[in-house]
Amino acid sequence: MVETKRSEPPSPGSGDLLLDLRGLLCPLPVVKTSARLTGMGPGQLLEVLADDQGVKADFPALCESTGHEWLGYRQEGRVVRSFLRRKQG
């Protein structure tokens, strides 16, 4: 069963970039996601795979503090598939 949180996030595979962080624990998923977002173009979509369940709270907090857009996540077994959009400016 696939659990979806927030309003319907983008479809799997729709990101401009895919970042696979499975096997990494806090704080590495947030650190690596933040660095990847910084290197992306404005408005690009980052899709992140992680099995650290803390990203469900950490990624929205990251976006709130940096101005990026949190688009939600899909729970796929132990994997959290998250979607973040790089800020426009």
Give catalytic residues, as residue numbers: 26
Which position has the token pair 């401009």?
A: 16
Return the half-sphere exposure (C-beta side, CA atoms, 13 A cut-off) of residue 40: 23
CB 51 within 8 A of CB 78: yes
